């Protein structure tokens, strides 16, 4: 489904329509309190996250690597990565994807032990992840499981804060592309991605792909409007996938 800027209540320029300023609290659902809803995308500090895991079930599987790559003004200003001891064997099928073996994490900290450093890396920035639902579920589950009380949690550690998801925008802005996977989008947009399925490389590429999307004139240009449209697109895409499965 393409964007429709007429009669749909979208925010193609990032500026809300006259006469509805009193409704912006509704439009700002999911916005991190640290940032004004009308902050231009170009001024948002972003932290792009990626996790590598023992499997796909956040309730039962564990993180084995997490990266936090911070963007300001469209440029990477810091990049941090932790190998995590999941306190369980890493299944071969998971290692076949990311290449991380039991021996690589045997002497590494658990998630609970690394959590204070991870929390500091997440502070003061809007969270981003490619296929964000996956990474958000794992991060929140690991925080809950750790038993560590996080004082003044950053946006990425608060369940009600909506993460920016470049995959949703890839499906909309490049609907005709054969693949919407991160590697395919990176290649299409001229973004370097050398070590796919390693956390730092994937997180950096996701942030740079998002930067390319920010330049697209079809994309709302303020924080709240962008999140509002992302949520609408996510609903439409979910309905389409359900239709395809049932068709």
46-53: strand order across its sheet: 75-83, 63-72, 46-53, 126-128
Average pLDDT for 111-125: 98
Specify the pLDDT at position 206.
98
Residue 160 predicted with pLDDT over 60: yes
pLDDT tens per residue across span 55-110: 999 999 999 999 999 999 999 999 999 999 999 999 999 999 999 999 999 999 99
How far, in Å, CA of 184 to CA of 60, rounded? 30
How far, in Å, CA of 64 to CA of 90, rounded? 8
> Mean pLDDT of all residues in the chain?
90
pLDDT band at 14 (very low <50, low <70, confident <90, very high): very low
Go through the domains of the chain in sequence order and give each one's CATH number. 21-246 (3.30.420.10)
How far is the CA of 164 from the CAs of 25, 86, 156, 180, 195, in angstroms?
18, 27, 10, 16, 22
pLDDT band at 11 (very low <50, low <70, confident <90, very high): very low
Between helix 182-189 and helix 199-214 the angle, nearest 10°, is: 50
Task: State the residue for tokens 């045997």.
Answer: 106
Residue 21 predicted with pLDDT over 90: no
How far, in Å, CA of 180 to CA of 228, rounded? 21
Which of 74-83, 124-133, 235-244 has the weakest average pLDDT? 235-244
Specify the pLDDT at position 26.
44
Residue 33 predicted with pLDDT over 60: yes
Specify the pLDDT at position 118.
98
pLDDT band at 25 (very low <50, low <70, confident <90, very high): very low
How far, in Å, CA of 69 to CA of 200, rounded? 7
Specify the pLDDT at position 240.
87
Residue 27 predicted with pLDDT over 90: no
Global confidence as pTM: 0.86
């Amino acid at each position: 489904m393409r964007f429709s800027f007429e009669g749909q209540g979208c925010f193609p320029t990032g500026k809300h329509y006259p006469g509805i300023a009193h409704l912006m609290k509704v439009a700002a659902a999911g916005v991190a309190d640290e940032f004004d809803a009308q902050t231009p995308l170009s001024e948002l500090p972003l932290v792009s996250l990626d996790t590598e895991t023992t499997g796909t079930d956040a309730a039962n599987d564990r993180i084995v690597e997490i990266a936090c790559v911070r963007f300001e003004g469209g440029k990477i200003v810091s990049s941090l990565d932790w190998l995590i001891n999941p306190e369980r064997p890493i299944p071969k099928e998971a290692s076949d994807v990311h290449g991380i073996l039991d021996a690589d994490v045997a002497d590494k900290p658990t998630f609970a032990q690394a959590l204070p450093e991870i929390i500091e890396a997440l502070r003061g920035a809007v969270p981003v992840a490619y296929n964000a639902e996956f990474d958000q579920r794992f991060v929140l589950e690991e925080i809950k499981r750790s038993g560590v009380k996080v004082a003044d949690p950053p946006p990425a550690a608060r369940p009600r804060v909506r993460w920016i998801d470049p995959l949703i925008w890839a499906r909309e802005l490049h609907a005709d592309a054969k693949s919407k996977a991160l590697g395919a989008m990176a290649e299409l947009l001229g973004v370097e991605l050398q070590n796919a399925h390693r956390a730092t490389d994937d997180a950096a590429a996701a942030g740079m792909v998002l930067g390319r999307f920010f330049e697209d004139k079809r994309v709302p240009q303020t924080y709240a409007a962008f999140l509002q449209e992302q949520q609408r697109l996510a609903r439409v895409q979910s309905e389409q996938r359900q239709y395809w499965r049932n068709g």
